[in-house]
Structure 1
Amino acid sequence: MTENKDEIIALCQTLDRAHHDKDAQAIAGCYAPDAVIYSLAPPLGERGLDRRGLDAWLATWDGPIRIDAQDMELSVTEGLAYSSALNRIRGTKTDGEEVDVWFRTTMCFRKTGEGWRIVHDHSSVPFYMDGSTRAAVDLRP
Structure 2
Amino acid sequence: MTMATPAAVEAEIHAIMNDRIEAVQAKDAARLVSHHAADVVAYDLLEPLQYKGAADLRRRAQQWFDGYDGPMAYEIRELVVVPGHGVAFCHGLHHVAGRLKTGQQVDMWWRATQGLRLVGDKWQIVHEHSSLPFDMASGKVSFTLKP
Question: Do the structures match in fold with TM over 0.5?
Answer: yes
Residue 68 of structure 1: CA displacement?
1.4
Q: TM-score, normalised by structure 2?
A: 0.88
Q: Identity percentage over the alignment? A: 34
1:6 and 2:18 are equivalent in the alignment: no
How much does 1:128 deviate? 1.0
Q: Distance in 2 between matches of 1:52 and 1:2?
A: 33
**Structure 1: gaps of 5 or more residues:** none
Q: Which runs of 5+ in 2 are unaligned?
A: 1-5
Q: Which position in structure 2 is the counterpart of 1:88?
A: 95
Match of 2:39 in 1: 34
1:69-103 Cα distance to aligned partner (Å, 9 max, x none):
22221110121111111111112212222211011
Superimposed CA distance per residue, residues 97-140 of structure 1 (whole angstroms, 9 cap, x where no aligned partner): 2211011111111111361111111000011111x321111111
Count, aligned residues: 140
| TM-score normalized by the length of structure 1 | 0.91
SS in 2 for 1:127: coil
The answer to whether 1:67 aligns with 2:74 is yes
- Give the RMSD, CA atoms, in angstroms: 1.4
Question: Is 2:5 the partner of 1:20?
Answer: no
Residue 65 of structure 1: SS of its match in structure 2?
strand
| Structure 1 segments of 4+ aligned residues over 3 angstroms from their partners | none
Say whether 1:52 aligns with 2:59: yes
Distance 2:140 2:46 in 1: 15
Which residue in the other structure is 1:135 paired with?
141
